[in-house]
Amino acid sequence: MTTQMKSGLLPALALLAGMAPMLGGCSTNPATGGQILSFMSPEEEQRIGDQEHPKLVAAFGGEVTDRELVRYVDSIGQLLARTSEMPNQKFTVTVLDSDIVNAFALPGGYLHVSRGLLALANSEAEVAGVLAHEIGHVTGRHSAQRYSQSVLAGIGVNVLGILTGSRELANLAGTGAELYLRSYSRDHEFEADMLGVRYLKRAGFDAKAMASFLASLRAQSQVDAQLQGLAPGKIDERDLLATHPRTLDRVERAAAAAGNIPVKDPILGRDIYLKKIDGLIYGDSPSQGFARGRDFLHPELRFRFRVPPGFELQNTPNRVIAKGPDKAMVIFDGAKRPGQRSIYDYLINVWGKGLRLNDREEITINGLRAATASARARTSNGVMDVRLVAILGSDTQIWRMMILTPTSRTAAMSRDLRETTYSFRMVNAAEAAQWKPWRIRLHRVVPGDTVESLAARLPFAKLKVERFRALNGLGAGEQVRPGQTVKLVLENT
């Protein structure tokens, strides 16, 4: 350490020491009884939860409208909450209308589970395990601790960087400090598992269900990775395993740390749970539209289009993405028509503003006014040819299709992509009414049924056996038994 660094470091440390009283202090963790550093009051946590909850619900497709199912899931959450160290905390349980398998908690007692998670679970105890884990985040005041740690890390590192004139130290605010925070978050995940086991046992549930659900989740994550063309073991960042990185070993350690809470005849609740989710929408809902092979259908907005052979459709809350060979891509979304602009004016001066547009023209697509133009742009996948297509769906609604192709492949792909452009059409109510979502349906296994024969009934194009096993919590090589109830996914039911 040089003399120059010493002279800058000592005043910095003194300043930090002087700032400590202003930053806040320690408080008692209501769940563990230990001391925690918190700069956020319970009242502030509640305010943040109240503010962010509706935003999160909107981002995940809104709430499931099946009131009976929602009341059932809420009853599980409220039972667990009453066993916690914060029985007077109001907990709000929301079932999100999303097929993504995920769950999360917000400060102030907001618990969220997705429709996709309910479809994957195989018992009441498994859902209880997820909710108990999220309740553990709330009672452990993990949001407040993460906020406080980020304040301390950000202020501390940046003050040191400023006072020593060290660019490297200042840069730690975005690197080393964040690595430390991620490690700290894993500690929170372990503590939430420990508290979750405690609440499960107090409520009489089988705590082993946390591990069985984790096994199903890992199997489903492997299926999703294969469907997306990702390397084995790669997990989508939206996946529950990404936001809650958990292992079977850690769940078992959390169970041991939770202590020996005796439970007589622990509740699994498999039969009652399966009956509750019989008929649950699987995959995308009609309000979000859904992919059927190469076709994207939207029964509520009443339109459809078809992507070229070799393209895989992915539906997200904000857009539809079709990924093709050689990193070609079709991105479809919608926009509100600004004022009374013509569709050509909108394409050139609003959507395509800033691009050097060529081949500009007005066209008609199945009776709808439209406009198109091309450009060349540098993207994360290199230099690509870009084709913009804007379609006036109504007086106020514009539908947009952005087609990206490698410059060396544009000519070869142009015919198929032109057919995609002209495949877009609005449909009448009678045709749209024929498009039904997939649903979970129960089946009682009879002699002669096998994993393979039952998986063949699923409407998926790929990995039917793997998806059937993940959906029903069946391990590799495990077979079904006569009399056993299993979940199928069926269409038009």
pLDDT score recorded for residue 185: 64
Size of the chain in residues: 493
Contact (Cβ atoms closer than 8 angstroms) between residue 290 and residue 315:
yes
- What's the token pair of residue 378? 């540098």
Q: How far apart are the first and last CA of the chain?
A: 73
Neighbour count for residue 221 (Cβ, 10 Å):
21
pLDDT score recorded for residue 254: 67
pLDDT score recorded for residue 175: 38
pLDDT score recorded for residue 248: 66
pLDDT score recorded for residue 145: 62
Long-range contacts of 154-161 (CB under 8 A, 24+ apart): 155/16, 155/19, 155/23, 156/16, 159/12, 159/15, 159/16, 160/9, 160/12
pLDDT score recorded for residue 236: 57
- Which domains, and CATH codes, for the chain? 36-281 (no CATH), 290-432 (3.40.1000.10), 438-490 (3.10.350)
User: How far apart are the C-alpha atoms of 293 and 49, rounded to whole Å?
Assistant: 40
Looking at the DSSP assignment, which residues form a beta bridge with residue 438?
Answer: 282
pLDDT score recorded for residue 339: 92
pLDDT score recorded for residue 258: 67
User: How far apart are the C-alpha atoms of 195 and 80, rounded to whole Å?
Assistant: 11
| Regions of the chain where pLDDT drops below 70 | 1-40, 143-185, 231-248, 250, 254, 258, 493
Tell me which H or E stretch contains 128. helix 124-139
